[in-house]
Amino acid sequence: MSASAEESCMHLDREQLRLMLRQMYEIRAFEEAAGKLYKRGMLKGGVHACIGQEAIPVGVSLHLRLDDYITSTHRGHGHHIAKGADVKRLMAELMGKETGYCKGRGGSMHVAAFDVGSLGAFPIVAAGVPSALGAALSFQMRGTDQVVVAYFGDGALGQGTIYEAFNLAVVWKLPVVFVCENNRLAVSTSSLQTVALQDVSGFAASLGFVGVRVNGQDAIEVSSAAEGAVQRARSGDGPTLIYADTFRFEGHYFGEPEVYRKREDVVRLRQEQDPIAIFSSRLRREGLLDDAGELEMQEAARVAIESALEFAQQSPDPKPQDYGEYVYAE
Amino acid sequence: MSTLSERGPDRKLSYMLAIREALQQEMRRDRMVVLLGEDVARHGGGFGVSAELWEEFGDRQVRNTPISENTVAGLALGASMTGVRPVVEFMFMDFSALAMDQICNEAAKVHYMYGGQANAPLVFRCPQGGRSQKSAGAQHSQSLEAWYVHIPGLKVVYPATPYDAKGLLIAAIRDPNPVVFIEHKALYGVEGPVPEDEYTVPLGKAEIKREGKHVTVVAAGHDVQLALAAADQLAGEQIELEVIDPRTLRPLDEECLFASVRKTHRAVLVQEACRTGGTAAEWGMRILETCFDWLDAPIERVCGADVPTPYADSLASKVWPQPADVVAAVRKVLYG
């Protein structure tokens, strides 16, 4: 634990810390429920779980307002839930229901939640990052102090548009927080084979902005970095790159065979690197959480996701004859 | 040379100045309209369309961008979804290929795949074709409208006259959808009547550029010039061409085409772009699907050759359709 994270933890009040844990439980429960639906053949089209990576969106969103924006990725359920998305409408969207955020036209990979500031999941790798710049330009032109977070994974570091976006955000001093979730895997390919970037702060400094590398399994450390980054963006000091090292515990998508790693390695990861366990034991050490409190939180998450499932399952499919709606805005 | 300061009922502007005036009037009306592109500020853009706009509107509304077409297109999308009305200039339409992910996979689809949560009111200005029938070579002279006509969610606009250029651009900027606005480089210097006041030409509405009863000629953009030249020549032989300009290539005002074909019973379709997979093929098939019983002759296409655009003008003149090719096609549908 770095000194700054230690200090920042003291800055976070009990309610904030409990909110973070509750959100992590909710994201975990959401993803596990989605996994079960997938196994029962009730989801399709590629569903990418963020189990193992929950600390990142939770630590980031803690410092965002409702009127701040995010752009998300194919692994985006956690980003949306942490930003405040309604899990009922999110689950309904995964199931392709008319009551979903996108009325069943998007699905897991193309979900957006404009009511809470999600400009969309952008499953084409790195494609959402330019849209984040556009939102930032909009804030500048309207003279607001809103900020936008662009999430992407280490796989996106192979896309040219990422470097174009870093360049443009610095040149125009845009209020963007770039958050790279480095889970070290692009589908099956290790980032050791594909990503040259090592020295995050040196890289960012060479372009004239701030880059910080954090332990993405530690919600406090993520939160501490995000607090500074959001503050910089809000006060007009331009972009920040938060590079969060993390692990995904599931395959690339539900049902993916994971031929690139051993089962026992994943078991060990789940034991040693679980962001929820790390965070909850931290709270317990500081006397902010006990067994009853944690059970209550787990139960609340379970109930919320249960009712989301019920809502989604009982919701109607879009009417077949409506396939032509929403091609053009009126 | 016309200027924006000319007044009166006989006021004429070039196609280029008509586009500039549309930008200027929209940027004055709405301070959230912003022009983005390479060299659009002091330099006035690749062909001078935006000259003098930066002097009036400054960096807020006229912004030079890095040479990052895909990122700038995506930035425009994000801005459009959050209250800005961006107009992106690609220096050459050929370079829009670098931005096709953002145009076709993202901008075209957000309204649909987000179930109506988002609108993307943005315009991509795309100068295409050969300038004054002079080729700038294979990567700077293509006509690429068909790429975008294929994508649901996009509107594709291709004005043929200064009047249409101004009215269609204002309509495109005000439209809540992404619009690919194509400008033909050979038209930039062409003059025509342009009212000084703001006006719109509705998207999705074709216009009969010349009435006639013997053969329907469908042509857009610079190809309208070829069709009109052929019509002038054939008028001396008492052959009347009806020249239909779709103006918007997607969504297509097919009723206008059909009505004309039902009248003339013959159709010639003109397209500078290379033949295969072009918009003329789409027009022809729609006419066949709906007006087959009205046709007295097979439909003829006059298209660019299926080759990359050559540099030497001696070669390019054979690759691009000429008025004589339109005349020959008309004779073929009339006399077999």
pLDDT at B130: 83
Tell me which amino acid residue A192 is: L
The per-residue pLDDT of chain A, averaged, comes to 95
**Every domain of chain A and the residues it spans:** 3-317
Using alpha carbons, select from A56, A1, A70, A47 the residue that is nearest to residue A24. Answer: A56
Local confidence band at A2 (pLDDT 50, 70, 90 cut-offs): very low
- Span A185-205, pLDDT tens digits: 999 999 999 999 999 999 999
Check if the beta carbon of residue B241 is closer than 8 Å to that of residue B231. yes
Check if the beta carbon of residue A177 is closer than 8 Å to that of residue A60. yes
- What element of type H or E holds B254? helix B254-264
Closest residue of chain B to A326, computed from CA coordinates: B112
Q: Report the SS3 class of residue A321.
A: helix
Map out the domains of chain B with their CATH numbers.
12-193 (3.40.50.970), 207-335 (3.40.50.920)
pLDDT at A46: 86
CB contact under 8 Å between B78 and A134, yes or no, is: yes
Helix %, strand %, coil % of chain A (to 5):
50, 10, 40
CA dihedral over B256, B324, B93, B276, signed as positive or negative: positive
Q: Which residues of chain B have pLDDT under 50?
A: 1
Q: How many CB atoms lie within 10 A of CB A35?
A: 17
Q: Label the pairing between strands B207-210 and B241-245.
A: antiparallel
CB contact under 8 Å between A325 and B116, yes or no, is: yes
Q: Is B254 a catalytic residue?
A: no
For the residues A152-162, what does the mean pLDDT come to? 97
Check if the beta carbon of residue B100 is closer than 8 Å to that of residue B147. yes
Tell me which amino acid residue B2 is: S
Helix %, strand %, coil % of chain B (to 5):
40, 20, 40
Q: Which of B31, B78, B111 sits opposite A132 (nearest CB)?
A: B78
Q: Which A residues 55-74 touch B at CB under 8 Å? A: 69, 71
Q: Report the SS3 class of residue B67.
A: coil
Distance in angstroms (rounded) separating the CA atoms of residues B17 and B1: 10
Distance in angstroms (rounded) separating the CA atoms of residues A251 and A228: 32
CA dihedral over B80, B85, B90, B94, signed as positive or negative: positive
Chain B residues close to A325, C-beta within 8 Å: 116
Q: How many CB atoms lie within 10 A of CB B29?
A: 12
For the residues A210-230, what does the mean pLDDT come to? 97
Q: Is B140 a catalytic residue?
A: yes
Rg over alpha carbons for chain B, rounded to the nearest Å, is: 20
In this predicted model, which residue has the larger pLDDT, A206 or A5? A206
Closest residue of chain B to A128, computed from CA coordinates: B74
* Cα of A100 to nearest chain B Cα, Å: 9
Half-sphere exposure of A87 (CA within 13 A, CB side): 24
* Cα of B210 to nearest chain A Cα, Å: 31
Q: Most distant CA pair in chain A: distance in Å?
A: 59
Residues of chain A above pLDDT 90, percent: 94
Partnered with residue B179 across adjacent β-strands are B123, B155
Interface contact A10, partner B, CB < 8 A: no
Place of tokens 């556009």: A134
The two three-digit tokens of residue B33, written as one number:
């309209």
pLDDT at B115: 98
- Span A310-321, pLDDT tens digits: 999 999 999 999
Distance in angstroms (rounded) separating the CA atoms of residues B88 and B92: 12
- Span A75-131, pLDDT tens digits: 999 999 999 999 999 999 999 999 999 999 999 999 999 999 999 999 999 999 999
Asked if pLDDT for residue A12 goes beyond 70, the answer is yes
Which segment of A146-150, A179-183, A282-286, B102-106 scores lowest on mean pLDDT? A282-286
Closest residue of chain B to A67, computed from CA coordinates: B82
Q: Report the SS3 class of residue B197.
A: coil
Chain B residues close to A119, C-beta within 8 Å: 78, 81-82, 118
Q: What is the CATH number of domain A3-317?
A: 3.40.50.970
The answer for residues whose C-beta is within 8 angstroms of residue B207's C-beta and 6 or more apart is B164, B244, B245, B247, B256
Q: Which A residues 165-224 touch B at CB under 8 Å? A: 165, 167-168, 171
* Cα of A243 to nearest chain B Cα, Å: 21
ipTM beyond cut 0.85: yes
Asked if pLDDT for residue A3 goes beyond 50, the answer is no
The two three-digit tokens of residue A324, written as one number:
């032509």
Closest residue of chain B to A104, computed from CA coordinates: B115
Q: Label the pairing between strands B215-218 and B267-274.
A: parallel
Local confidence band at A9 (pLDDT 50, 70, 90 cut-offs): low
Chosen for mutation from B33, B61, B85, B113 (greatest number of chain A CBs closer than 10 Å) is B113
pLDDT at B9: 72
Distance in angstroms (rounded) separating the CA atoms of residues B110 and A151: 18
DSSP state of A118: B
Q: Which of B32, B78, B119 sits opposite A131 (nearest CB)?
A: B78
Chain B residues close to A106, C-beta within 8 Å: 113-115
Count of H-run helices and E-run strands, chain A:
13, 7
- Span A272-301, pLDDT tens digits: 999 999 999 999 999 999 999 999 999 999
CB contact under 8 Å between A137 and B84, yes or no, is: yes
- Calculated CA dihedral for residues A275, A276, A279, A284, nearest 10 degrees: -150
Between the two ends of chain B, the Cα-to-Cα distance in Å is: 44
